[in-house]
């Protein structure tokens, strides 16, 4: 017997007063003319790309795995232990176009693999970044073609590094060689950009003040919608909206803690958690929601800017990050670099675990996504752009094999990896920037 059930449109939005919520992938969104078709449709191909930038390189002794497996992770990568089968560590890659070596070009070349025009003025010129190439192809079916995130709330202006305009350090994503895309660091504004509808940020904040919760305005529509669903799908919808509500509660708690603080706080807008880790976790959780609700399929996230003077006393590094990276082979400074690397990786690992525990189709959100994590600088003391620290995560739907350390010939262009990831999400290109090949070894067929 042929099942003629009409499936629900994947782009269905639940709308309320000034808000619109996307939905996770539900069984009811999968055509069910036959059981075989349903199974095939559930096996989504890779369809999301994420990029995470960590500044100022790493301590290679505590980063680089020994051998070709991840069985014995070095100190900075130990937080990946629970998800090691979902990640691959790649060494030997280079950003040739980032030379003559600077913080500005480390950041600007990471996603563009392009040479930044040396200027201290507004005649900057770089190249279209790989995330924006992806956004043009896989981001047009979603409310936001791409989402640009950061952790730093203030931007420097003018000349920042060795004759380069600050724009090269401030912006990770460029939609054209002359158009850098600003990244948002305020969780409330990101939340509103995902779920708000129209108006200026001030208008949306005022609308939020008139409501106890964004979800309250769609509750009745959500209950009607759930009547169309089976029990499994109802549970998925409930879990998704509870995740949204929990993030909203955390943002409101952060706002309240700032409002109750009698000391002036000129650098941190209301709603940003005081602790770096809490702020980062919120930004990562927003990425989970953005992907789960199909609000966007392309994300870039800057964990900190190059030459950052952020301190990390919570992990025993009270000194500013940038001066520590000029280590001169000082063991104490190298140990502190490794601690910062480990701290950043631990937050990424938590995020991967959450993605891996979020069901989608016959797999997980992580299975249907690819994330590249890394830096445009290798040895920060030398301002070197070779032997870059790179991690690729996810991709089971694309047959990526995790648990491996892949070592490439020194000088292999990072653009080879960029090209490979584009191809894997269905964007067929013959070259990108200075690429001279691909890294298909990352996606060898799994042994059966």
115 in any annotated domain: yes
Q: Hey, what are 249's tokens?
A: 């509660």
Report the pLDDT value the prediction gives residue 99, as an integer from 0 to 100. 93
Length of the chain: 448
The answer to whether residue 236 scores a pLDDT higher than 80 is: no
If one counts every other C-beta atom within 10 angstroms of the C-beta of residue 377, the result is 32
Report the pLDDT value the prediction gives residue 308, as an integer from 0 to 100. 92
Residues 6 or more apart whose Cβ sits within 8 Å of residue 144:
193, 194, 290, 295, 296
What is the sign of the dihedral through the CA atoms of 185, 191, 192 and 194? positive
Domain limits for position 300: 43-185+272-443
Q: Hey, what are 199's tokens?
A: 């108006």
430 in any annotated domain: yes
Indicate which CATH number applies to the domain containing 412. 3.40.720.10
191 in any annotated domain: no
pLDDT tens by residue, 380-431? 898 899 999 999 999 988 899 999 999 999 999 999 999 999 999 999 999 9
CA nearest neighbour of 293 among 185, 347, 218, 209: 218
29 in any annotated domain: no
101 in any annotated domain: yes
Report the pLDDT value the prediction gives residue 74, as an integer from 0 to 100. 98
Give, as one character, the DSSP assignment of residue 312: B
Instruction: Give the chain's domain count.
Output: 1
227 in any annotated domain: no
109 in any annotated domain: yes
pLDDT tens by residue, 298-324? 999 999 999 999 999 999 999 999 999
Exposed/middle/buried for residue 379 (C-beta within 10 Å: 0-12, 13-18, 19+): middle
β-pair type (363-364, 359-360): antiparallel
pLDDT tens by residue, 23-69? 666 777 765 434 433 333 333 478 899 999 999 999 999 999 999 99
If one counts every other C-beta atom within 10 angstroms of the C-beta of residue 426, the result is 13
If one counts every other C-beta atom within 10 angstroms of the C-beta of residue 290, the result is 27
Q: Hey, what are 313's tokens?
A: 């006393």
The answer to whether residue 279 scores a pLDDT higher than 50 is: yes
The pTM is what? 0.81
Computed over every residue of the chain, the mean pLDDT equals 84
Which residues are registered as beta bridge partners of 161?
Answer: 164
167 in any annotated domain: yes
Report the pLDDT value the prediction gives residue 274, as an integer from 0 to 100. 86
Report residue 101's pLDDT band, with 50, 70 and 90 as the boundaries: confident
Report the pLDDT value the prediction gives residue 40, as an integer from 0 to 100. 33
Mean pLDDT value across residues 108-126: 95
Give, as one character, the DSSP assignment of residue 255: H
Report the pLDDT value the prediction gives residue 12, as an integer from 0 to 100. 66
Residues 6 or more apart whose Cβ sits within 8 Å of residue 388:
57, 91, 93, 94, 95, 374, 375, 376, 377, 378, 414
If one counts every other C-beta atom within 10 angstroms of the C-beta of residue 223, the result is 9
């Amino acid at each position: 017997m042929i099942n003629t059930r009409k499936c629900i449109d994947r782009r269905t939005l639940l709308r309320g007063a000034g808000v619109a919520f996307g939905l996770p992938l539900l069984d009811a969104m999968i055509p069910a003319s036959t059981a075989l078709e349903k199974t095939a449709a559930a096996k989504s191909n890779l369809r999301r790309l994420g990029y995470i930038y960590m500044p100022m390189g790493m301590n290679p002794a505590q980063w680089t795995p020994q051998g070709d497996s991840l069985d014995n992770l070095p100190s900075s990568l130990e937080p990946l232990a629970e998800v090691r089968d979902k990640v691959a560590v790649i060494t030997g890659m280079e950003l040739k176009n980032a030379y003559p070596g600077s913080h500005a070009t480390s950041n600007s070349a990471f996603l563009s693999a392009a040479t930044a025009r040396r200027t201290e003025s507004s005649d900057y010129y770089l190249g279209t970044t790989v995330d924006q190439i992806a956004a043009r192809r896989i981001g047009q079916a979603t409310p936001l073609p791409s989402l640009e995130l950061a952790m730093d709330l203030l931007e420097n202006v003018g000349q920042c590094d060795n004759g380069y305009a600050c724009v090269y350090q401030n912006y990770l994503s460029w939609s054209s060689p002359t158009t850098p895309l600003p990244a948002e660091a305020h969780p409330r504004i990101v939340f509103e950009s995902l779920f708000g509808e129209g108006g200026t940020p001030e208008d949306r904040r005022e609308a939020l003040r008139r409501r106890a919760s964004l979800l309250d305005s769609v509750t009745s529509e959500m209950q009607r919608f759930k009547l169309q669903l089976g029990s499994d799908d109802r549970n998925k919808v409930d879990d998704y909206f509870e995740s949204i509500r929990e993030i909203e509660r955390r943002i409101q708690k952060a706002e309240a803690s700032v409002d109750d603080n009698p000391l002036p706080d000129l650098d941190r807008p209301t709603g940003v958690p005081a602790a770096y880790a809490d702020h980062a976790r919120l930004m990562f959780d927003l990425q989970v929601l953005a992907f789960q609700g199909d609000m966007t399929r392309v994300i870039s996230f800057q964990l900190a800017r190059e030459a950052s003077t952020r301190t990390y006393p919570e992990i025993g590094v009270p000194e500013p990050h940038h001066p520590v990276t000029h280590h001169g082979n000082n063991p104490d400074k190298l140990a502190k670099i490794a601690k910062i690397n480990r701290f950043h990786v631990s937050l990424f690992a938590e995020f991967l675990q959450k993605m891996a525990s979020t069901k989608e189709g016959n797999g997980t959100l992580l299975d249907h996504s690819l994330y590249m994590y890394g830096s445009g600088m290798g040895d920060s003391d030398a301002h070197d752009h070779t032997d870059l620290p790179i991690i690729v995560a996810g991709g089971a739907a694309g047959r990526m094999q995790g648990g491996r350390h892949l070592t490439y010939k020194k000088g292999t262009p990072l653009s080879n990896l960029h090209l490979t990831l584009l191809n894997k999400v269905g964007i067929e290109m013959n070259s990108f920037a200075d690429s001279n090949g691909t890294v298909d070894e990352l996606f060898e067929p799994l042994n059966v």
